[in-house]
Amino acid sequence: MISNDIVSGFINIVPRLFECEEVYWSRTRDVFEARLQTYNLKKQNWLFGAVLGEIGSNTFDHNLIFPDSNAKGLYCDFEYNDGEYVILLDFGKGLKASLSRIRTEIVTDRQAIEVAFTEQVSGRMPEQRGNGLKFVLSTIVSSGWEMYYHSGNAVCLADKDGYLFENSDFIHNGCFCVLGIGGE
């Protein structure tokens, strides 16, 4: 699993992301896709590129309006910790607000993250969609990569041994993830 030091180190700088260099922010989908294509051409790990594309697209699929206009879009650090990890973060509505619209029994962040990663469901019903995060999680585990995904106070952790869910003391309004692919 991704170490606590890596995760807590990033969580400590989250409040300062509003002020960070604009180069880390993709305010719109087209900018994110252009940056992702540049990263993919450099790394040439096509499956990992598909994973990043699915996670990043969710920010723009589910947040047509951002609660805080200063934090519009997707924060991307493709070279976190000397290139060991990729970080994607948004200050959008988060999983619980998206999914509780169509699954009214969802009242906690933990319920929302478990449904998002394990069930075929989408906050954009009646559109037939909702396999993106299942693709992400199954690919991370199958490939032996690592993921820390956080929304609200709930966390999904994954590595070669499988995935599990936890609660966190840190509350993030939106979603963020830390992804690592080792030496690949």
- The SS3 call for residue 88 is strand
The reply to whether 40 sits near another protein by the rule CB under 8 A is yes
Only segment of 69-77, 87-95, 104-112, 126-134 that touches another protein (CB under 8 A)? 126-134
**Shortest Å, Cβ 13 to another protein:** 28
78, 56 Cβ separation under 8 angstroms? no
CA–CA separation, 90 and 141 (whole Å): 24
CA–CA separation, 176 and 103 (whole Å): 22
Q: List C-alpha distances in Å: 18 to 22, 72, 87, 176.
A: 9, 10, 15, 14
The reply to whether 54 sits near another protein by the rule CB under 8 A is yes
AA identity, residue 8:
S
The residue within the footprint of another protein, chosen from 66, 84, 103, 134 (CB under 8 A), is: 134
The reply to whether 3 sits near another protein by the rule CB under 8 A is no
Q: Which residues contact another protein by CB under 8 A?
A: 29, 33, 36-37, 40, 44, 46-47, 49-50, 53-54, 57, 61, 117-120, 128-129, 131-132, 134-135, 137-139, 141-142, 158, 161-164
